[in-house]
């Protein structure tokens, strides 16, 4: 059996209030008064108060921008090369910050046997895995792999890999690092998808340390994984490369699809673990947006109070794609530790392109 020993998070330097991002968007989109009122309503209904970004521009006057040109129509608009250059300059240090906090007072960096990096907002070769290895001076013989372009559920996929490694090797100590710089990919066209992306997404990093159960490190056990794909949603959530950055398609129909399918997924996942709803003490649900969390409440017996950690992460950080579920898990695990809760089970779920729904169950029994 494997266990999660530690979890940590890291954020870029720039914290933007939602109202400041709204002002940026209204000006860039050159909206009239009616359009501005509509966008203001959406922002006020988002349940997001602030988001973090590696880009300072979203809270600055145009004359102080560092990433976007202070020109009419943002021309020359940042191309894919500029966005990836910015990613490669900022993502490694953010990743290392999360990783170093994760292993601090748990293990020495020389003990890490596996490194799994996760991102869908920056890609290159050599990539984030080698950049982290070099900056942390990790063993050159370390096993490394990357989970790329899976979106918001990718952290759970990485957990599956780490679980397999650690179950099969009593000496394995695997670290997962999820880093996303979603705000690098702002698009200026006023489409529904671009407006939704600009409304929801932020930047962040999270790291997870997973080991075999045969050591003295305290942790919570990885009990079960289960996933399903709802192909009727494949046209409604996607992530594509373009010359001007990565393009998100996020249909307003996604919450309806989740409302239709999530309860079925939940029952199958619990049955797979030989459990039922009453066995779950904590719900770790990816806060893809307020409407998605509301859809889960409508689809299941999971209450608003059950989702308080998801709503809190959404409020404070927005949707950061893959690290977000780990931000929620960190809040839950810290709450359990503070309350000395025993025999607790955590059910986690995240959603992404496909429409893919990934779940996990953790237990501290």
- 176 vs 197: which has the higher pLDDT: 176
Rounded to the nearest integer, the mean pLDDT of the chain is 92
- Tens of pLDDT along 37-96? 999 999 999 999 999 999 999 999 999 999 999 987 888 999 999 999 999 999 999 999
Identify the band that residue 251 occupies on the pLDDT scale cut at 50, 70 and 90. Answer: low
Residue 195 reports pLDDT greater than 70: yes
Contacts of 188 (CB under 8 A, 6+ apart): 28, 29, 73, 74, 77, 194
Q: Is the dihedral of CA 147, 104, 348, 13 positive or negative?
A: negative
Phi, psi of 237 (to 5 degrees): -145, 115
**What CATH superfamily classification does 220-363 receive?**
Thiolase/Chalcone synthase (3.40.47.10)
Q: Which tokens is 38 given? A: 């509509």
Give CA separation, 12 vs 21, 62, 70, 266, 323, in Å. 16, 21, 23, 34, 13
Decide: helix, strand or coil at residue 237: strand
Contacts of 21 (CB under 8 A, 6+ apart): 43, 51, 58, 59, 198
pLDDT of residue 255: 80
Identify the band that residue 365 occupies on the pLDDT scale cut at 50, 70 and 90. Answer: confident
Identify the band that residue 188 occupies on the pLDDT scale cut at 50, 70 and 90. Answer: confident
> Given the structure tokens 């608003």, which residue do they identify?
304
- Tens of pLDDT along 254-265? 788 888 888 999
pLDDT of residue 236: 59
Contacts of 242 (CB under 8 A, 6+ apart): 80
Residue 233 reports pLDDT greater than 60: no
- pLDDT > 70: what percent of the chain? 96
Q: CA–CA separation, 68 vs 87, rounded Å?
A: 15
Strand-pair partners of 349: 285, 359
- pLDDT > 90: what percent of the chain? 75
- Tens of pLDDT along 258-305? 888 889 999 999 999 999 999 999 999 999 999 999 999 999 999 999
pLDDT of residue 147: 96
Decide: helix, strand or coil at residue 183: helix
Residue 106 reports pLDDT greater than 90: yes
- Tens of pLDDT along 16-42? 999 999 999 998 888 889 999 999 999
């Amino acid at each position: 059996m494997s266990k999660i020993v530690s979890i940590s998070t890291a954020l870029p330097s720039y914290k933007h209030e939602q109202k400041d991002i709204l002002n940026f968007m209204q000006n860039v989109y050159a909206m009239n008064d009616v359009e501005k009122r509509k966008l203001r309503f959406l922002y006020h209904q988002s349940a997001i108060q602030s988001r973090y970004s590696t880009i300072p521009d979203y809270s600055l006057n145009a004359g102080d921008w560092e990433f976007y040109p202070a020109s009419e129509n943002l021309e020359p608009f940042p191309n894919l090369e500029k966005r990836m250059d910015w990613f490669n300059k900022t993502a490694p240090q953010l990743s290392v910050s999360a990783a170093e906090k994760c292993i601090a007072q748990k293990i020495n960096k020389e003990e890490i046997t596996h490194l799994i990096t996760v991102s869908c907002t920056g890609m290159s070769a050599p990539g984030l895995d080698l950049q982290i290895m070099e900056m942390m001076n990790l063993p050159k013989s370390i096993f490394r792999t990357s989970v790329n372009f899976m979106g918001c559920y990718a952290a759970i996929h990485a957990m599956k890999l780490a679980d397999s490694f650690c179950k099969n090797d009593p000496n394995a100590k695997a670290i997962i690092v999820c880093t996303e710089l979603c705000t690098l990919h702002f698009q200026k066209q006023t489409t529904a998808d671009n407006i939704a992306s600009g409304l929801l997404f932020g930047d962040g990093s999270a790291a997870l340390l997973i080991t075999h159960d045969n050591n003295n490190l305290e942790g919570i056990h990885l009990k079960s994984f289960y996933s399903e794909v709802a192909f009727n949603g494949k046209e409604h959530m996607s992530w594509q490369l373009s010359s001007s950055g990565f393009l998100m398609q996020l249909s307003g129909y996604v919450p309806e699809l989740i409302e239709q399918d999530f309860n079925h997924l939940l029952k199958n996942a619990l049955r797979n673990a030989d459990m039922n709803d009453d066995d779950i003490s904590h719900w770790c649900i990816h806060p893809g947006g307020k409407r998605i969390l509301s859809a889960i409440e409508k689809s299941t017996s999971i209450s608003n109070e059950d989702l308080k950690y998801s709503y809190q992460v959404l409020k404070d950080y927005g949707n950061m794609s893959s690290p977000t579920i780990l931000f929620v898990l960190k809040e839950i695990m810290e709450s359990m530790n503070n309350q000395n809760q025993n025999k607790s089970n955590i059910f986690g779920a995240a959603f992404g392109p496909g429409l893919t729904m990934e779940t996990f169950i953790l237990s501290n029994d």
